[in-house]
Structure 1
Amino acid sequence: MSRSLRHGAFAATALVFSIAALSACSAGNDAQTLQVRPDNAATAVDSIKIQNLNIITQPDPETEGPAVIAATLFNDGPKREVVEKVTLPGTNAVVELKPAKGKGPVVVPAGGRLIIGGKNNASAVIENGRQAGADGSVQTVAFTLSETGDIELGAAIVPATSFFEKFGPSTVPSAKPTPTPTPSASETGSVASGEPSDGQSGTPSGTETDAAGTADDEAATH
């Protein structure tokens, strides 16, 4: 196990105990007001801290579409760190990482923070959101940083509802339109053919033409 992953494991374990204790205390002191959310993953490795990590899927569990990764990264070090990639180990999911504005790397500035997810922030989009896993489960997310290396921690998979709605996918598939029924062949056949519907031909029959020709010949003979 790498140094980064080992430190991350210890930090995550300590965080679980501290959050559990905080949750127990807050239960009698209006936990909703204190906004204690023990399901939001967090860890610290060297000068990098990752907090509020979640994978946010479509609001309807039956809907296919993209999902997003939401997290806040803090950099307490003297150098900026570039988030080179974000992956979901053990899956085939592809995560597309983009900066908040324009092109270029996704950077955690020295002494600053990087917010991933939400309006006007950097984004990490999973095109096929269901590859991340089912709502309510936990999926490992790996951040690869230019100086610190790999940091892995588990993220809760939640739908884009309630608190998570404003951080969810910007693309929500719309319902497919109902196809307009087309007229049947029996309704359109006579009009489309351009022929009279009473069965009469558009030209005189051959018998009528022959009879007229015979009458003219007789008149010429007399």
Structure 2
Amino acid sequence: MPQPRRFRLALAAALLVAVPSAALSACSAGSDAETLLIRPDTPETTLGALKVQDVLLVTGPEGGGGPLAVVASVYNGGAATDRLELISVNELPQNAAITPAPNRPQLQIPQGQTLTVGGPGNTTAVLQNPDNIVRAGDTRLVTFRFAQSGVVTLWVPVQPAVGYLQGYGPGGS
């Protein structure tokens, strides 16, 4: 048997064994794999058809007091459009000043879409922090109010605007 033909047969045999075993091994984890139990380390909750996820309060890069930026994603899995009305922190006297993103002037969350709060080009929500009550390392109760779905409150960590949060702090810090 010529050398190239033997090589092709060996290659075909190797592929015949490798391809099905790779495909079958991917399925062996099943629908109850432990990796499905991994949850994000940021707070999340549901309120009717809304999923409020990845919620953080972000201080300036120094981590001390001063204004706070809210970071969150709100996904609308329902059939009707909803609208973000307010964000507040229980210890602070004023609600967040919310500035809509150019593509969401009414703070609406249409069916099947996400409203992103915080970060460049997105809706922003900034809370004044008089007397530096809230600082990096704290955990605070944050309340979101929506026009259709109502009110939801969750415990949220306070992080400084460093590392992957750089650019998400108050004033884009």
What TM-score does the superposition give when structure 1 sets the normalisation length? 0.56
2:50 corresponds to: 48
Which residue type is aligned with residue 168 of structure 2?
Answer: F
Paired residue for 2:165? 164
User: Cα 1:166–1:130, aligned 2, differ >3 Å: closer, same or farther?
Assistant: farther
5+ unaligned residues in a row in structure 1: which ranges?
Answer: 1-17, 23-35, 173-222
Write the distance in 1 (CA, Å) between the matches of 2:46 and 2:95.
25
Shift of 1:103: 8.5
| Partner deviation per Cα, 1:93-152 (whole Å, 9 max, x = no partner) | 431011102894211111111000001100101133765612111111111101110011
Over 3 Å counting, the alpha-carbon distance change for 1:42 and 1:93 in structure 2 is same
Whether the 8 Å contact between 1:67 and 1:125 is mirrored in structure 2 is yes
Distance 1:56 1:98 in 2: 16
What does 1:30-109 correspond to in 2, within 5 Å? 37-38=40-41, 40-62=42-64, 65-101=66-102, 104-109=105-110
Greater fraction of residues in strand: 2
1:116 aligns with 2:117: yes
Deviation at 1:52, TM superposition (A): 0.4
CA deviations on 1:63-118 (whole Å, 9 max, x unpaired) are x5322000000000111111111111233243101110289421111111100000
Distance 1:56 1:44 in 2: 22
Unaligned segments of structure 2, at least 5 residues = 1-33
Q: Is the 8 A contact 1:66 1:171 kept in 2?
A: no
Q: Compared with structure 1, are the counterparts of its residues 130 and 109 closer, same or farther at alpha carbon in structure 2 (3 Å cutoff)?
A: farther
Amino acid at match of 1:73: V
**Number of positions where the alignment pairs a residue of Structure 1 with one of Structure 2:** 139
Residues 98, 124 of structure 1: 8 Å contact kept: yes
Q: Which residue of 2 aligns with 1:177?
A: none
Bigger relative contact order (CA 8 A; separation at least 6): 2
CA deviation profile, 1:158-198 (whole Å, cap 9, x unmatched) = 000111112222255xxxxxxxxxxxxxxxxxxxxxxxxxx
In 1, are the aligned partners of 2:81 and 2:109 still within 8 Å (CA)? Answer: yes
The code of the aligned residue for 1:166 comes to: G
Change (3 A) 1:84 1:131: farther
Contact 1:57–1:158 (CA<8 Å) still a contact in 2? yes
Retained in 1: the 8 A contact 2:66–2:132? Answer: no
Q: TM-score when scaled to structure 2?
A: 0.71
Distance 1:57 1:164 in 2: 10
Mapped to 2, the partners of 1:100 and 1:152 lie a distance apart of 23
Is contact 2:66-2:128 (8 Å) kept? yes
Amino acid of the structure 2 residue aligned with 1:115:
T
CA contact (8 A) 1:91 1:131 kept: no
Q: Between Structure 1 and Structure 2, which shows a larger proportion of helix residues?
A: 1
